[in-house]
Amino acid sequence: MNQAMKTIEGWYCLHDFRMMDWTKWKAASGQQREHALFEFKNLLKKWERIEENKQGSHSVYTVVGQKADIMFMILRPSMKDLNEVETEFSKTSLADYMKPACSYVSVIEKSSYSPMNTNPYEDPAMLSKLYPTIPKNEYVCFYPMSKLRGENTNWFMLPAEERKRLMFEHIDTGRPYTEKVKRIVTGSVGFDDYEWGVTLFCDDALQFKKLIYATRFDEVSAVYGIFGSFYIGNVLKQDRINQYFHL
């Protein structure tokens, strides 16, 4: 039997995409819109208290393009917590003016082909990666991906040492972008349609293109990578909410 990679998991993650019904929003009265935004801001304040207490994290983005209008990225301790957050928002007045576009469910995952000689849950550096605060950079890029399992070319049938070599090569390619582009990688095997979700954060959207293009030439990406849809967005901070929804 081929050797599986060792993984350790942290917070569960939900990427929730919504499409704004602008026609319905424009038809609402000023009082209805004000109430919806007031309710939404109160919900965000609740999420901020959860983040301050280090029981999760969140960020909201406006999506560029026609795939969605809004993306919520939510981190919580359990799958049940994610479901409660999703339902809580769906019950708000603002959600009445939105339609679900798509979603992605996963869990923060750190992996290693090397033996774990210490308890990772006692390592402060590892804990900060398993239970992070979502970076509040200006731009976000999210995409799901899997590894090829073809009849003749199958990532999961490669020996562990070969997979390790290819992944280390991939990591080395991305190293020059470490300071400019932050990332959160989540595992979704058994949770969603792809095997991993990758969320990138930076203050210069062009860096997403440069990083992803550079890694396309790595064998692990060129031969074995299968990619889903890409979503690009701008962070929606509290002081921009009124501007975004204003008519």
Q: Domain segments of the chain: what residues?
A: 6-245
Phi, then psi, of 62 in degrees rounded to 5: -95, 125
Paired strand residues for 142: 199, 231
Say what percent of the chain tops pLDDT 90. 89
| 228, burial (CB in 10 Å: exposed 0-12, middle 13-18, buried 19+) | middle
Structure confidence at residue 4 (pLDDT): 83
CATH class of 6-245: alpha beta
pLDDT at 78 over 80: yes
Query: How does pLDDT run across 21-76, given as a tens digit for each residue?
Result: 999 999 999 999 999 999 999 999 999 999 999 999 999 999 999 999 999 999 99
Query: Where on the phi/psi map is residue 190: left (φ > 0), alpha (ψ -120 to 50), or beta?
Result: left
Q: What was the pLDDT predicted at 117?
A: 72
What is the rounded average pLDDT of the residues 90-104?
A: 97
Q: How far is CA 133 from CA 95, 127, 152, in A?
A: 25, 11, 41
184-193 residue pLDDT tens: 999 999 999 9
Q: Report the chain's mean pLDDT, rounded to a whole number.
A: 95
Per-residue confidence (pLDDT) for residue 2, from 0 to 100:
75
pLDDT tens per residue across span 130-141:
999 999 999 999
Residue 96 contacts residue 27 (beta carbons within 8 Å) = no
pLDDT top residue among 246 and 192: 192
Tell me, yes or no, if 143 is annotated catalytic: yes
Residues 6+ apart with CB under 8 A from 177: 207, 210, 211, 214
Q: What is the Cα–Cα distance from 110 to 186, expressed in whole angstroms? A: 8
Is 247's pLDDT higher than 80?
Answer: no
| Contacts of residue 214, Cβ cutoff 8 Å, sequence gap at least 6 | 173, 174, 177
In this prediction, residue 119 carries a pLDDT of: 87
Where are any strands of DSSP class E within the chain? 6-20, 57-64, 70-76, 98-112, 139-147, 182-187, 196-202, 225-227, 231-235
- The answer to which of 111-125, 147-161, 181-195, 219-233 has the lowest mean pLDDT is 111-125
Least confident range from 43-47, 123-127, 129-133, 219-223: namely: 123-127
Determine the pLDDT at residue 120: 87
Say whether pLDDT at 116 is over 80.
no
Inform me whether the pLDDT recorded for 144 exceeds 90.
Answer: yes
Q: Does pLDDT of 232 surpass 90?
A: yes
Query: Catalytic residue among 61, 97, 104, 143, which?
Result: 143
Q: How confident is the model at residue 114 (pLDDT cuts 50, 70, 90)?
A: low
Question: Is this model's pTM higher than 0.85 or not?
Answer: yes
- Say whether pLDDT at 1 is over 70: no
